[in-house]
Structure 1
């Protein structure tokens, strides 16, 4: 571990702001109906101290040991951040869960992490998630929790009203475990990535060295705080730099939320950057936009108006990541005067690996490594290896899995193939293994989904693919019998109906980011001769993606659940 200044650690930052900027407004939370609630640093610290005292009382009553795990299941909101801080102040370890997980995954994470309690917060579809919370697990609700959760569990405000604030400045050392961030692995089972307080502190020092942040900045929190980028940039950036955080209310109000915040720093996944572009093009066709931008004064006014309409007129640093940014998209934003920097990282390194340098044209790469990050390319397979003081402590309760990705010399094997150019900029060229990432920045392990697809007698072989698409796509080779039946109109309709039901049944048991947009049924046999399978009858995934890949976007764009290909 690199030397970490104690005053850069998370709790110490909270105490710093409590002491020096108690009256500064730092959180703005939409409450519905156009109403908002705000908090100063002093109010945040008071709430955190009261909840931390309550958690300690729970721990003492129920025999929790030091470092006990406490989970957070909620969409982004002010209470999410305060819950995390309260867990740490009480001496425990936080376990954030994505607010869209299937109940089976919720249960798996809560049981694997041995969570002793859980904050049940702002959620859609709570009725479907609730079966994943083990019976008897103590839970706490937020003011914006679903009605059922607020009826079933003690509420945040009621607890804070009756519990006295925890006194003093309880500290957590840089080497202490702060959180478990669960991420999907090659088997599809989530792995608990262990990160220390020191990891986060070093990550923020490296990040600010590349992208300066300060108290005058504003950020909108809308990507899940359970995701590593939002956690590092918003939560730990907020604690380090003291900027103001605004929260998004719903997808329907996103534009209003963005215009309220007028962020000075804005990060998004490529899919949303594309949606912004499509929104502009819907109102202003590209040909007309190009013509207007070519007129000196008019062009400047158009750029300014568009950026203001997007809520990005005050944005001084824009960034994308979690999946590759199309070069044409980067050029489009550059024409509007907005440079979008592209970053690269993983949960295992707190997303601190590479980012393009603001003001430099490094399009097509993810820029040079952050200061303090070491990179090398494995000559045997082209895999990117990296080291940094933000590298995870390991996978929780999985030493064998840890040893598979962090070698004896401390290098993290990223699973990505890459190349480094003469300027030190990194270019990601592919995946060493089958795990792929959608355009939403979520990893998908295809093998478990493929196993479920193969349970249908009419499917002889399959591949689940979709790197950089919004959702995965299933490509299935029909059995000879099914292929023959698909030639008859009546039989084809029947086959389509049962494949559609099979798709629905599988998707119901998958997390949202894993659910397939469609199934493409092909009749052409996959054989050794045509290179689709190996002599041992294993499907060649790369060959399938090479042949069918160019058609994927068109298939998805057709909006059909079942598509019959060649």
Structure 2
């Protein structure tokens, strides 16, 4: 504002977000990964059934990523005109820089946003208790999976989380604790909560687990309350797994959980039923013919597409073949995204 900028506010909640973007035409904005993932998924959906176009676009994205390592951001070329421009227009067409925060962002999404929008994206980390920014990546940094170096005037230490079996000396990760002049003095009229979060040295205990990288950058693993340990001793960060699974177009929502007595994680999944009915026609058709109902008896010669309408979402969720079909697709995508074997779920519950 001091430099002549203007601020826009949503007019009708998240539903009108892209309409507001087109009206406001922002040059800079702060985002959460969910919005950027939504752009990425829209693009993937558009080129999914066109292998040649998909390969050409990926080639252009890879080329731009190499150029951006040298500070080159361009918006020209036939691929840009035919495919990338419309995604920039969704955000108003004038975005010059983005800051992403609140949770880690997938590398493929980050590369896509930087290349297609042709602008730098900084990953930032902070909290209300520390009055905002603690770490952030430089706009020139095109790496992923970290939140950059510590901001001036900020101190960070990692401490053990013994109740979770996490020890800095052994695991090279621990709970992130922050001290700076901008730290809060405490929670208003809540001394008990203040003493839980703010220690005697003035460090705020964030509840986040982090690890230092060799280049001095901080990598956020997950919340201490979220991470769980499997029976074989491996740690799983469920938020990372959930975000990866959401790249599967057969699901809308997913929740991952685990226990120290079990060797694998489990998941609760809400399918994308519309997409599921299109892709699992054979399975659903077989299921349709096993359901006895007055409608089914009258319509024995219905076409598969009509049969699908007789199966309720709840009935799909209880079918073993449907569960296996979705789980196989989820884990296939997760492997492509680099998840390790112990991070994959082997059992899941489908729900409406």
TM-score tier after normalising by the smaller chain length: 0.5 to 0.7
How many Å separate the matches in 2 of 1:335 and 1:391?
36
1:283 paired residue number: 46
CA RMSD of superposed structures (Å) = 3.6
In structure 2, the CA distance between the partners of 1:424 and 1:292, relative to structure 1 (3 Å rule), is closer
CA contact (8 A) 2:23 2:92 kept: no
**1:60-459, aligned counterparts within 5 Å?**
215-217=3-5, 243-285=6-48, 287=51, 288-292=53-57, 294=59, 297-302=77-82, 305-336=85-116, 337-378=118-159, 381=168, 382-432=174-224, 434-435=225-226
SS class of match (1:427):
strand
Cα shift at 1:247? 2.3
Cα shift at 1:472? 6.8
In structure 2, the CA distance between the partners of 1:214 and 1:313, relative to structure 1 (3 Å rule), is farther
How many Å separate the matches in 2 of 1:250 and 1:402?
33
CA contact (8 A) 1:466 1:472 kept: no
1:551 pairs with 2:345: yes
In structure 2, the CA distance between the partners of 1:399 and 1:338, relative to structure 1 (3 Å rule), is same
Cα shift at 1:389? 2.2
SS class of match (1:375):
strand
CA contact (8 A) 1:292 1:302 kept: no
SS class of match (2:344):
helix
Gaps of 5+ in 2: 61-75, 161-166, 169-173, 229-236, 244-252, 260-316, 319-339
How many Å separate the matches in 1 of 2:256 and 2:139?
39
Cα shift at 1:282? 2.6
SS class of match (2:85):
helix
How many Å separate the matches in 1 of 2:258 and 2:80?
51
How many Å separate the matches in 1 of 2:4 and 2:79?
29
Relative to the length of structure 1, the TM-score reads: 0.35
How many Å separate the matches in 2 of 1:290 and 1:214?
44
In structure 2, the CA distance between the partners of 1:260 and 1:316, relative to structure 1 (3 Å rule), is same
Cα shift at 1:385? 1.4
How many Å separate the matches in 2 of 1:291 and 1:427?
32
CA contact (8 A) 1:292 1:298 kept: no
How many Å separate the matches in 2 of 1:472 and 1:303?
30
SS class of match (2:37):
helix
Cα shift at 1:360? 1.6
Q: Deviations over 1:290-348 (max 9, x none)?
A: 41565772133246513433225211221221111111211222332243221111221
How many Å separate the matches in 2 of 1:261 and 1:395?
36
Relative to the length of structure 2, the TM-score reads: 0.55
CA contact (8 A) 2:110 2:121 kept: yes
CA contact (8 A) 1:386 1:411 kept: yes
Cα shift at 1:253? 2.6
Q: Deviations over 1:466-491 (max 9, x none)?
A: 535486738699xxxxxxxxxxxxxx
Q: Deviations over 1:101-132 (max 9, x none)?
A: xxxxxxxxxxxxxxxxxxxxxxxxxxxxxxxx
1:114 paired residue number: none
In structure 2, the CA distance between the partners of 1:325 and 1:294, relative to structure 1 (3 Å rule), is closer
Cα shift at 1:353? 0.9
How many Å separate the matches in 2 of 1:264 and 1:421?
32
Larger Rg: 1
Cα shift at 1:358? 1.0
Q: Deviations over 1:134-184 (max 9, x none)?
A: xxxxxxxxxxxxxxxxxxxxxxxxxxxxxxxxxxxxxxxxxxxxxxxxxxx
How many Å separate the matches in 1 of 2:145 and 2:258?
33
Cα shift at 1:368? 1.1
How many Å separate the matches in 1 of 2:4 and 2:114?
25
SS class of match (2:35):
helix
2:321 paired residue number: none
